[in-house]
Amino acid sequence: MSYNRRKFISFMGKAGLGTVVMPQFLISCGSTATPTNGFGQISKEKLSTLKAFDLMGLSATNKDDLVLANGLDYHTVIKWGDKISDTDTFGFNNDFTCFIPFDDNNPKDGLLWVNHEYVNPLYVSDFDAKKYENPSEHRTKEQVDKEMYDVGGTIVRIKEENGAWKVVENDPHNRRINGKTPISVNWDSPIKGKSTIIGTNSNCSGCITPWKTFLTCEENYDGFFGETEYDEAKVATHRNSYYGWENFYNYPPEHYGWVVEVDPKDGTAQKHIALGRFAHECCTLYELEDKRVVAYTADDKNDEHLYKFISSKPGSLKKGTLYVADTINGIWLALDWKTQAVLKSNFKDQTEVLIRAREAAKLLGATALNRPEDIEIDPVTGNIFVTLTNNKPKGDYHGSILKIEENNGAFDALSFKAETYLAGGDENGFSCPDNLAFDMSGNLWITTDMSGSSMNKEDKPYMSFKNNSLFVIPRFGADAGKIIRVVSAPTDAELTGPWFSPDGKTLFLSVQHPGEQTVDKNNPTSTWPFDADNIPKPAVVAITGDLIEKMNLLNRIEVNS
């Protein structure tokens, strides 16, 4: 379906029909709806006083820089290799970011969590994979150790002073979670014989829980320890990983591919088995009135699925049921060994169903989707938006955004309506949507992820889009419903992890894998962020300026407590 501007406005128009009830507690990946126990609403009066302002977007560019629309500035908060303490440094390829202030009355001092998804061996371990046909066989243990250190996540205290966010070096909260951190298993039986797993990797997107911990999602885990695969006779074999870490650390693939929770206070972590095992892009939580939680999570692989977990106990990510979406018929199908005969006959217990969730989902008739990535809940309507980034073998090069309306707006409903909200492509000026975020006024921000090997190439269908970018779709005013490019990424990079500070004055954003197509270290394709080392470095930036403040605050959705 092509994009239809009127449709967006009518979807907003719903907000004008008297009082729109906002979720009782809405906090999700990249959403900035202020956590509240009250209800948000846009009243008729409010709609009549909406303030319009001009927004000058950027044209597509292939410049090796972080290019910003008028009204925006940026500074680098932290980049790969920066010291966070006497013993630790910031990891590689930062993705999801989020920020929790220590004190709700002071939005300028708190903890930043950052995911580190994977490493570029050329820079991290001085390993040139291109020299070998089977690179994983040639790494040394020392190189693997360096790589394991630079994935996972970082907790770091940051403070804003005179308009600039700075790391508080050596704050006792500062720590790394990485490929070697012991992490407990939140499940009643061990996973491949262990109740404690060593390390996390492939940490892509995530969210803050209603109880103020971080969720970090293990996405392309098979790149690090491989995967266990089963043939028709149910015989298991090991598929080797790209990075070859299993050559030195014999950890089972089943220990990875989970949603991981990290406590910012002390860095303790746990893997949530009940949410299933697959390439988790993200996890978006919604807390129901009775404090049970609903967790939406997506499997970013061609033809994989969209899932949701509904807890049966308040605040639990263990007790409850995992469902997978049949988007054709609008049904959530229970991945429940006890009640589903087809699961009983194919798996030995619920633990195996969760470990092999992809196979279980297919047996139940889950819908194959085009690489579902980020998920956000609209703070005004409660609709759920899911980016489907692309599916090249199926001819979907530009992706789309799926809109889900749960039956009667109930997040624990077992039926729903799904439709395409917006399609990528030349007509709409963007391709391969990935991360989403709603700001305080309900404007929708979208980052794109065209792969480094396809961008700006004459023989690929991405030429006209130039570099990956951040777009915004304003909700109100003269620009309502337009898709406006506001930030363009450096060469080969992807912008990830958009997160607004609690006062709406800063947009934290990750610049991931600049210069990723570099072949010769001495001649990199990018040198962003242009520091003294003159090499490309992933970094988290703070974007500030008039435009961020206007977007967030001029038409801020009111939240009553």
Contact call for residue 26 and Ca ion (CB under 5 A):
no
* Window contacting Ca ion (CB under 5 A); options: 51-59, 301-309, 371-379, 512-520: 371-379
* Window contacting Ca ion (CB under 5 A); options: 160-168, 230-238, 342-350, 437-445: 437-445
The one among 449, 479, 492, 516 contacting Ca ion by CB under 5 A: 449
C-alpha dihedral sign at 263, 508, 206, 503? positive
CB of 281 vs ligand FEO, minimal distance in Å: 4
Q: Can you tell me the distance from the alpha carbon of 69 to that of 58, in angstroms, rounded to the nearest whole number?
A: 6
Which residue lies nearer to ligand FEO by CB, 340 or 400?
400
DSSP conformation letters of 365-406: TPPPEE-EEEEEE-TTT--EEEEE--BGGGTB-S-EEEEEEE
Is residue 344 within a helix (H) or strand (E), and if so which, with residue range?
Answer: helix 341-346
Contact call for residue 434 and Ca ion (CB under 5 A):
yes
User: Which partner, ligand FEO, Ca ion, none, binds residue 30 by CB below 5 to 8 Å per kind?
Assistant: Ca ion
CB of 204 vs ligand FEO, minimal distance in Å: 3
Is residue 509 within a helix (H) or strand (E), and if so which, with residue range?
Answer: strand 507-512
Q: How far is CA 270 from CA 182, 212, 267, 339, in A?
A: 9, 15, 10, 28
Contact call for residue 380 and Ca ion (CB under 5 A):
no
DSSP conformation letters of 262-285: E-TTT--EEEEGGG--S-EEEEEE
Q: Can you tell me the distance from the alpha carbon of 526 to that of 224, in angstroms, rounded to the nearest whole number?
A: 26
User: Which partner, ligand FEO, Ca ion, none, binds residue 29 by CB below 5 to 8 Å per kind?
Assistant: Ca ion
Q: Can you tell me the distance from the alpha carbon of 150 to that of 306, in angstroms, rounded to the nearest whole number?
A: 29
User: Which partner, ligand FEO, Ca ion, none, binds residue 374 by CB below 5 to 8 Å per kind?
Assistant: Ca ion
Long-range contacts of 122-127 (CB under 8 A, 24+ apart): 122/518, 122/521, 123/80, 123/92, 123/521, 123/535, 123/536, 124/92, 124/150
CB of 472 vs ligand FEO, minimal distance in Å: 20
300 and 204 Cβ atoms separated by less than 8 Å: yes
Note the Cα 495 to chain centre separation in Å.
11
User: Which partner, Ca ion, ligand FEO, none, binds residue 218 by CB below 5 to 8 Å per kind?
Assistant: none
- Total residues in contact with ligand FEO, by rule CB under 6 A: 7
Contact call for residue 373 and ligand FEO (CB under 6 A):
yes
Site for ligand FEO in 217-246 (CB under 6 A): 219
The one among 23, 30, 226, 379 contacting Ca ion by CB under 5 A: 30
Strand 196-198 versus strand 182-185 pairing type: antiparallel
- Total residues in contact with Ca ion, by rule CB under 5 A: 9
Reference 244, options 267, 223, 262, 260; nearest CA is 223
Rg, C-alpha atoms of the chain = 22
Which residue lies nearer to ligand FEO by CB, 82 or 300?
300
Coil vs helix vs strand at 12: helix
Reference 184, options 116, 266, 244, 243; nearest CA is 266
Site for ligand FEO in 276-305 (CB under 6 A): 281, 300
Site for ligand FEO in 116-145 (CB under 6 A): 117
Which residue lies nearer to ligand FEO by CB, 204 or 310?
204
User: Which partner, Ca ion, ligand FEO, none, binds residue 254 by CB below 5 to 8 Å per kind?
Assistant: none
Contact call for residue 516 and ligand FEO (CB under 6 A):
no
User: Which partner, Ca ion, ligand FEO, none, binds residue 486 by CB below 5 to 8 Å per kind?
Assistant: none
* DSSP code for 59: P
Site for ligand FEO in 181-210 (CB under 6 A): 204
User: Which partner, ligand FEO, Ca ion, none, binds residue 219 by CB below 5 to 8 Å per kind?
Assistant: ligand FEO
Which residue lies nearer to ligand FEO by CB, 23 or 497?
497
Which tokens in the block code for residue 23? 């979720």
User: Which partner, Ca ion, ligand FEO, none, binds residue 117 by CB below 5 to 8 Å per kind?
Assistant: ligand FEO
Peptide bond just before 529 cis, omega within 30 deg? yes
CB of 279 vs ligand FEO, minimal distance in Å: 7
Site for ligand FEO in 60-99 (CB under 6 A): 95
Reference 151, options 238, 240, 89; nearest CA is 89
Q: Can you tell me the distance from the alpha carbon of 438 to that of 375, in angstroms, rounded to the nearest whole number?
A: 11
Which residue lies nearer to ligand FEO by CB, 300 or 516?
300
Which residue lies nearer to ligand FEO by CB, 364 or 493?
493
Which residue lies nearer to ligand FEO by CB, 179 or 545?
179
User: Which partner, ligand FEO, Ca ion, none, binds residue 217 by CB below 5 to 8 Å per kind?
Assistant: none
Question: x/- binding map, residues 264-283, to Ca ion, per CB under 5 A?
Answer: --------------------
Which residue lies nearer to ligand FEO by CB, 15 or 493?
493
Q: Can you tell me the distance from the alpha carbon of 229 to that of 221, in angstroms, rounded to the nearest whole number?
A: 14
Length of the chain: 561
Q: Point out which residues bind ligand FEO (CB under 6 A).
A: 95, 117, 204, 219, 281, 300, 373
Q: Point out which residues bind Ca ion (CB under 5 A).
A: 29-30, 373-374, 434-437, 449
